[in-house]
Structure 1
Amino acid sequence: MPYEPPTHSVERSLRATTGARVVAGVDEVGRGAWAGPVTVCAAITGLRRPPAGLTDSKLLAPKRRAELADELEQWGATYALGHSSPGEIDDLGMTAALRLAASRALEALPVRPEAVILDGKHDYLGAPWRVRTVIKGDQSCIAVAAASVIAKVRRDAMMAELDAECAAFAFSDNAGYPSPVHRAALEELGPTRHHRMSWAYLDAMPRWQHLKKQRSPVVAPALQCGGQLGFDF
């Protein structure tokens, strides 16, 4: 299906209305997965013409998506990744975990953004960042599209590495998302240390329901952590 290529219009608008010269696009992947982290990419692309075919990662075939991620690095996109682990998702809930991962990504950039374009309509990031939310920003904004592609490719690669430990779950194929193979492995073997233990999928598995974890109260100081996350997947 034809689609309009992303542009720098939002970045230009932010420059004109706020004076922000350094603008980062932010997008996430892994929100709906049963296993693995939620991963956020923050990308700064400037106002240069991007590699051909750049768009929302979900609209790209896996091979082309991987090629684009490499092209974006060669093109000079400045980016950083932030992750929230399955345990943090269980303890904090998804909104707070997204905020934590996004803060880690933004703080890890070599230059601090003066404004952030966040994909979607909900600002899960908040202060101290100056945020502009854009529905379908991963299709319309170059920096957000770049973040979308890089986040998806890098997280998929992280999940594929788990196949050596968790071959039955086929993480290299499903990246921790629901699938028939993933469900069958869960029902037979139970969840691994990489699974989110507070999620509703366990409700449909009587053999493993007793393992379901109740979410802990959100602890505000945890949301203030910056930098890259160094946990063991």
Structure 2
Amino acid sequence: MPYEAPTHTVERSLRATTGAKVIAGVDEVGRGAWAGPVTVCAAVTGLRRPPEGLTDSKLLTPKRRDELAVVLAGWVTAHALGHASPEEIDELGMTAALRLAAVRALDGLPVRPDAVILDGKHDYLGAPWQVRTVIKGDRSCVAVAAASVIAKVERDRMMAVLGGPGGGFEDFAFGDNAGYPSPVHRAALEALGPTPYHRLSWAYLDTLPRWRHLKKVRRSEELLELENGGQLGFDF
């Protein structure tokens, strides 16, 4: 598959303009899923030549992602993963849950980064981290691309265990859909209802009459409604 190889351009710029020496690339996976955690990887790569074929995980086949993840584990200077659970996503909302997972990943690194390259245009980390956001950073920045692959492979494996033999949720086919929307996933939801690994504040529950009573409102929304004199129809 043709692709434009990621570079260290942003890392070099941060080094030159801020004096940063340890720079972590950060990327997430699982933001749009119905089930499972949101997972963030923080990867520090230095300025070495990246492994052949490294790019955004979404552009790689599952087989190639798995192969690259093995190579990257021994190639990166350091990496760490952070997760925010479905319960935390329901409680905090996605932006705050992303920050929680990212901070957990960054705190898991052996050395605190001087700067962070964050994939996308929104800085969900904020102070005290020195952040540079890069749209499509998972394609253009080596450290972010490495984080993208490691995060994707780790989360897919976690979901495959849940959906595999003995995982207890074979009907949901998490090994195939990783908790994202799919016809099989929806059919299992209609028949069996959400599992403990589903996000109960997500809009998909609105379309499932049998189970929509389980939908939760995020605490921030609950407090806002109460402040406005409203009443909630959900029992926490």
State the partner residue of 1:170.
173
Provide the rounded CA distance (Å) in 2 between the counterparts of 1:127 and 1:40: 18
State the partner residue of 1:215.
218
Residue 137 in structure 1 maps to residue 137 in structure 2: yes
Provide the rounded CA distance (Å) in 2 between the counterparts of 1:20 and 1:75: 21
Larger Rg: 2
What fraction of aligned residue pairs are identical, expressed as a percent?
A: 78
Which secondary structure state, in structure 1, belongs to the residue aligned with residue 7 of structure 2? coil
State the partner residue of 2:128.
128
Tell me how far 1:39 sits from its aligned partner: 0.3
Give the residue type in structure 1 aligned to 2:91.
D
Question: What are the Cα deviations for residues 63-122 of structure 1, in whole angstroms up to 9, with x where unaligned?
Answer: 000000000112244100000000000000000000000000001100000000000000
Which secondary structure state, in structure 2, belongs to the residue aligned with residue 24 of structure 1? strand
The structure 1 segments of at least 4 consecutive aligned residues displaced by more than 6 Å after TM superposition are none
- Alignment equivalent of 2:208, drawn from 202, 205, 213: 205
State the partner residue of 2:152.
152
TM-score by length of 1: 0.92
State the partner residue of 2:32.
32
RMSD, matched Cα? 0.9
Question: What are the Cα deviations for residues 157-211 of structure 1, in whole angstroms up to 9, with x where unaligned?
Answer: 0011102210000000000000000000000000000000010000000000100
Which secondary structure state, in structure 2, belongs to the residue aligned with residue 52 of structure 1? coil
TM-score by length of 2: 0.91
Runs of 5+ unmatched residues, structure 2 = 222-236
State the partner residue of 2:64.
64
Higher RCO by CA contacts (8 Å cutoff, separation 6 or greater): 1
Give the residue type in structure 1 aligned to 2:174.
F
Tell me how far 1:2 sits from its aligned partner: 2.4
Give the residue type in structure 2 aligned to 1:190.
G
Tell me how far 1:217 sits from its aligned partner: 2.3
Equivalences for residues 69-80 of structure 1 within 5 A: 69-80=69-80
Question: Is 125-134 or 155-164 further displaced after alignment?
Answer: 155-164
Provide the rounded CA distance (Å) in 2 between the counterparts of 1:71 and 1:104: 23
Which secondary structure state, in structure 2, belongs to the residue aligned with residue 217 of structure 1? helix
State the partner residue of 1:18.
18
Provide the rounded CA distance (Å) in 1 between the counterparts of 2:150 and 2:98: 17
Runs of 5+ unmatched residues, structure 1 = 219-233
Number of residue equivalences: 218
